[in-house]
């Protein structure tokens, strides 16, 4: 069973639909008991970092996320919240990965970075099995994560940034796999395999 974290800042419906197409049983939840019983976690996110962190704290999820050992995939803002802090609202984030999120501020590029882009470099990780630099994914973000020792793929827009990160059980992608066609489906399937989650008949619950 996959748990999609519902903290009022996620693109829940499209992620749920993508898992349904893969036949992956999943639950949309903010309940700690349901998260603890899940095999793996998907942590989507859209919107403002400060509001998202406030919602995580209000739902007692921030501390749980920092300490969980379950396989976890952060998507877009979900990945960004892995980092220590953000210029967006001068926000303290989860601190799982070192670094601070910065705003694209070059007058020669449009903000947010919106549309299809590909990796500039790709490291070796099960999340990226069968995926290479020529494969395009869909991005929508105004802030970007720095390149660190936990970066396994980079992308370039105004600056080079972390497109995919991995640290222990935590994996994250800046793009939206659920909106990235066949390449996104491949990445989600890779995560399910990385997590050891079993796909099968649809089993979605709203808690």
Tens of pLDDT, residue by residue over 68-125, are 999 999 999 999 999 999 999 999 999 999 999 999 988 788 999 999 999 888 888 9
Handedness of CA 156, 87, 93, 53 (dihedral sign): negative
Look over the chain and give the mean of its residue pLDDT values, rounded to a whole number: 92
pTM for this structure? 0.93
Tokens of 24: 């992956």
Confidence of residue 196 (pLDDT cuts 50, 70, 90): confident
- At 198, the pLDDT band (50, 70, 90 cuts) reads very low
Which residue would you say has higher pLDDT here, 19 or 109? 19
Domain of 17, in residue numbers: 2-206
CATH number at residue 18: 3.40.50.880
Quote the CA–CA distance of 197 and 207 in Å, as a whole number.
20
H or E element that contains 34: helix 32-37
Please list, residue by residue across 78-100, b when 16 or more beta carbons sit within 10 angstroms of its beta carbon and e when fewer do: bbbbbbbbbebeebebbebbebe
Question: How many domains is the chain built from?
Answer: 1
Question: What is each CA distance from 131 to 114, 118, 122, 124, in whole angstroms?
Answer: 21, 10, 9, 10
Which is the catalytic residue, given 58, 118, 178, 193?
Answer: 178
pLDDT confidence bin for 142, thresholds 50/70/90: very high
Q: Residues 163-185, buried b or exposed e (16+ Cβ, 10 A)?
A: bbbbbebbbbbbbbbbbbeebbe
| 76 belongs to the catalytic site | yes
Examine the pLDDT at 205 and tell me if it is beyond 90.
Answer: no
Quote the CA–CA distance of 171 and 179 in Å, as a whole number: 18
Q: Please tell me the predicted confidence (pLDDT) of residue 199.
A: 43
Please report the sign of the dihedral spanned by the C-alpha atoms of residue 57, residue 192, residue 172, residue 137: negative
Q: What is the pLDDT of residues 20-42, one digit of tens each?
A: 999 999 999 999 999 999 999 99
Q: Which two tokens stand for residue 6?
A: 């519902």
Whole-number Å distance between alpha carbons of 57 and 168: 23
Most confident stretch, 6-10, 119-123, 135-139: 135-139
Percent of the chain with pLDDT over 90: 82
Q: Which of 26, 113, 141, 176 is catalytic?
A: 176
DSSP letter, residue 9: S
Query: Which residue in the list 36, 57, 76, 113 is annotated as catalytic?
Result: 76
Q: Catalytic site residue 176? A: yes
């Amino acid at each position: 069973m996959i748990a999609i974290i519902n903290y009022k800042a996620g693109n829940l419906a499209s992620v749920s639909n993508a898992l349904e197409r893969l036949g992956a049983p999943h639950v949309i939840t903010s309940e700690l008991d349901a998260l603890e019983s899940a095999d793996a976690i998907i942590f989507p996110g859209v919107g403002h970092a400060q509001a998202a962190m406030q919602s995580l704290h209000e739902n007692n999820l921030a501390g749980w996320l920092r300490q969980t050992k379950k396989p976890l995939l952060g998507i877009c803002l979900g990945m960004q919240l892995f980092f220590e802090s953000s210029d967006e609202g001068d926000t303290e984030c989860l601190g799982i990965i070192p670094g601070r999120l910065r705003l694209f501020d070059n007058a020669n590029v449009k903000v947010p970075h919106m549309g299809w882009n590909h990796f500039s470099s790709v490291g070796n990780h099960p999340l990226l099995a069968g995926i290479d630099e020529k494969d395009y994914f869909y991005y929508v973000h105004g802030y970007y994560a720095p390149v660190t020792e936990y970066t396994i793929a980079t992308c370039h827009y105004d600056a080079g940034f972390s497109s995919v990160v991995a640290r222990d059980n935590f994996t994250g992608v800046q793009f939206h796999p659920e909106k990235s066609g066949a390449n996104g489906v491949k990445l989600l399937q890779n995560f399910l395999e990385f997590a050891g989650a079993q796909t099968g008949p649809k089993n979605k619950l709203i808690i």
